Amino acid sequence: MIQRDLKRIKAETVTAIGMGTWGIGGYESPDYSRDRESVEVLRYGLEMGINLIDTAEFYGAGHSEELVGRAIDGFEREELFMISKVWPTHFGYEEAKKAAKQSAKRLGTYIDLYLLHWPGESWRRIEETLRALEELVDEGLIRYIGVSNFDLELLKRSQEAMRRYEIVANEVKYSLRDRWPETSGLLDYMKREKMALIAYTPLEKGSLARNPCLAEIGRRYGKTASQVALNYLIREDNVIAIPKAGSRVHLEENAGAMGWRLKEEDVEKVRGCV
């Protein structure tokens, strides 16, 4: 497994590929057979050595957090890294603290990295939320603070608003097909600041897995199109990709994106595939 030494997170060690939980289990209408299957898949990933799970209160109105809590039961908590997020409707000092406590209760544990899920419409509410999260770090409910879907301007503004702690991560949509973190300067800035960029939808809901050009490049490495698409992202030392933990087969394929590196002469060819 390739692991990331996240400088701003006190040299926290996490795998370069994590497990995303959007839409797992019965989701909006609990289906217990699907719930059980999702829990088993997550546990399989943990047994493989993938130690990062990404979830949110918004996913299934907290149901995904509950399933993650079931999945991590029995594993050494200190070896895992849990990410969750507060939805903009719960921004604000009191609301954010309450939301975090409810997420931690559903997970059955503290939260390693707690993110503001989307910017929302009010800067004042973002500031209040960041202040609440700093207090939650002091209380031990969360360990680190981050944001999600923040552009470069808003990320910098959020950094400046911090009083005692730092913004350590920004989770954004990033894939070979959607390379805006590269073209906007966000990725370069986050590399300089030693912040983790967490890439969601890295396989574009499976469409990159069916890309014949990526498959052709992958054959030269003994890898699949999906593995090439993921490796392109995690070749950057501060990038973590979180494809959905949909099945054991997918987890095994995702894990195969780690432990090797695209040659520089192939990077531009990979970009040209989409």
Q: State mean pLDDT over 99-103.
A: 98
Three-class DSSP category at 116: strand
Active-site annotation holds for 44: no
Q: How many CB atoms lie within 10 A of CB 163?
A: 7
With a cut of 60, say whether residue 106 has pLDDT above it.
Answer: yes
Q: How confident is the model at residue 34 (pLDDT cuts 50, 70, 90)?
A: confident
- Return the closest-CA partner of residue 186 out of 203, 199, 177: 199
Work out the pLDDT band at 100, boundaries 50, 70, 90. very high
State the Cα–Cα distance between residues 23 and 17, nearest whole angstrom. 18
* Euclidean distance between CA atoms 100 and 122, whole angstroms: 20
| Among 134, 225, 131, 115, residue whose Cα is nearest residue 172 | 115
Give the model's confidence band at 26: pLDDT under 50 very low, under 70 low, under 90 confident, else very high: low
Is residue 33, in this structure, part of any structural domain at all? Answer: yes
pLDDT at 261 over 90: yes
The C-alpha torsion from 133 through 138 and 143 to 145, rounded to 10°, is: 30
How many whole angstroms separate alpha carbon 260 and alpha carbon 91?
41
For residue 64, which of 117, 20, 21 has the smallest C-alpha distance? 21
Question: pLDDT tens across 118-161, in order?
Answer: 998 899 999 999 999 999 999 999 999 999 999 999 999 999 99
Distances (CA, A) of 6 to 13, 81, 196, 244, 273: 7, 12, 7, 22, 30
Q: Is residue 226 one of the residues assigned to a domain? A: no
Give the chain's domain count: 1
Residue 153 in any domain: the answer is: yes
Q: Is residue 262 part of a domain?
A: no
Residue 159 in tokens:
């950094």
| Tokens representing residue 70 in the block | 């079931």
- List the domain range (segments joined by +) for residue 21: 6-206+232-248
pTM for this entry: 0.95
- Give the pLDDT score at 10: 55
Residue 63 · residue 25 · CB < 8 Å:
yes
Nearest to 146 by CA among 161, 163, 158: 158
Instruction: Tell me whether residue 217 is in a domain.
Output: no
Cα 210 from Cα 52, distance rounded (Å): 26
225 in any annotated domain: no
> What is the average per-residue pLDDT within 257-262?
97
The CATH number covering residue 74 comes to 3.20.20.100
The reply to whether 263 falls in a domain is no
- The answer to whether 134 touches 164, Cβ cutoff 8 Å, is yes
The model's confidence at residue 28, banded by pLDDT at 50, 70 and 90, is low
Q: In Å, how far from its chain's centre is CA 115? A: 10
In a domain, 271, yes or no: no
Whole-number average pLDDT of the chain: 94
Q: Provide mean pLDDT across the span 98-113.
A: 98
Out of 27, 32, 44, 59, pick the active-site residue.
Answer: 59
> Which tens digits make up the pLDDT trace of 189-234?
999 999 999 999 999 999 999 999 999 999 999 999 999 999 999 9
Q: Which residues contact 10 (CB under 8 A, 6 or more apart)?
A: none
- Paired residues of 148 in beta bridges: 171
Token pair, residue 153, equals 């301007």
CB 248 within 8 A of CB 26: no
Residue 29 pLDDT exceeds 70: no
